Amino acid sequence: MISYDLRGKAALVTGGASGIGLATVRILGKSGCKVAINHLADDARGPEQVEALRAEGMDVISAPGNVADPEGCATMVEAAASAMGRLDYLVCNAGTPGTRTSIAPHELDRMTEELWRNVLEVNLLGVFRCAKAAAPHLRAAGGAMVSTASIAGLNFPGSSPAYGASKAGVISLTRNLARGLGPEVRVNAVAPGAVNSTWQVDWTNEERSMSIEKAVLKRRCEPEDIADAIVYLLAGAAMVTGQTLVVDGGLSL
């Protein structure tokens, strides 16, 4: 893992109190970066993680807010940037599969309007809303943003076709935000494969072992594997913009 000296920088990580978001917060925090941890207002993991990370010496604050709520999202970004005095890095990581069990492409009846609205609001519009609110701060800082897409947004079946479409949207939006926010701000995405997180609680043993067997590197990604790539795209990768980096151990090859 590459280490960075990010003292004097400030970051906002959406969905930062668990999984990939929390692993990203930890790398940034250990590198000296101030971090605002976004979480849903009623998610107790937010204040718990802030307390735990502060006890480890990291400079973190809580940034409660729902990225699916247009006004709430903008207010949350503004409050985080103002509390930290600047915003160099934005990580748009909050996401939902919208379903506890996977929906195959032929199961059209299970793809309800509600599912579509939920995944698009959180996974795609949430990214745009955060980017829009953060843009003046990122421009002023000459910063960078990274979104968490998925191999489901490329040519791989995800938890549902609606989820896949939301993540394909993130990949497209990443290119356009890179065009729109450059030259001051670099904009990239990561596309994880199967990650060892709470999402797999309801997976069958067969689904779990398939995700390992099919991967060229013969293991599932840990949240830290994805966080490592996110921080590289934020703080390294000086000439990389508009790109989506697949981090899946070769699952989608």
| Contact characters 41-60, ligand NAD, x per CB under 6 A | --x-----------------
Distance CA 153, CA 165 (A): 6
Rounded-to-10 torsion of CA 21, 25, 31, 33: 120
Q: Does 96 bind ligand NAD (CB under 6 A)?
A: yes
| Contact window for ligand NAD (CB under 6 A) among 91-99, 100-108, 137-145, 233-241 | 91-99
Distance CA 102, CA 99 (A): 7
Q: Does 94 bind ligand NAD (CB under 6 A)?
A: yes
Rounded to 5°, angle at Cα 112 from 111 and 115: 85
The minimum distance between CB 35 and ligand NAD, in angstroms, equals 14
Residue of 9, 10, 11, 21 that binds ligand NAD (CB under 6 A): 21
Distances (CA, A) of 235 to 47, 133, 222, 251: 26, 21, 21, 26
Nearer Cβ to ligand NAD (25/181): 25
Q: Which residues contact 204 (CB under 8 A, 6 or more apart)?
A: none
163 is catalytic: yes
Q: Does 99 bind ligand NAD (CB under 6 A)?
A: no
Nearer Cβ to ligand NAD (87/221): 221
The minimum distance between CB 108 and ligand NAD, in angstroms, equals 22
| Contact window for ligand NAD (CB under 6 A) among 24-32, 80-88, 194-202, 231-239 | 194-202
Rg (CA), the chain: 17
Ordered DSSP codes for 61-79: EEEE--TTSHHHHHHHHHH
Q: Which helix (H) or strand (E) holds 83?
A: helix 70-84
**Active-site annotation, residues:** 163
Q: Under the rule (CB under 6 A), what is the footprint of ligand NAD? A: 14-15, 17-21, 38, 40, 43, 66-68, 93-96, 122, 148, 150, 192, 194-195, 197-199, 223
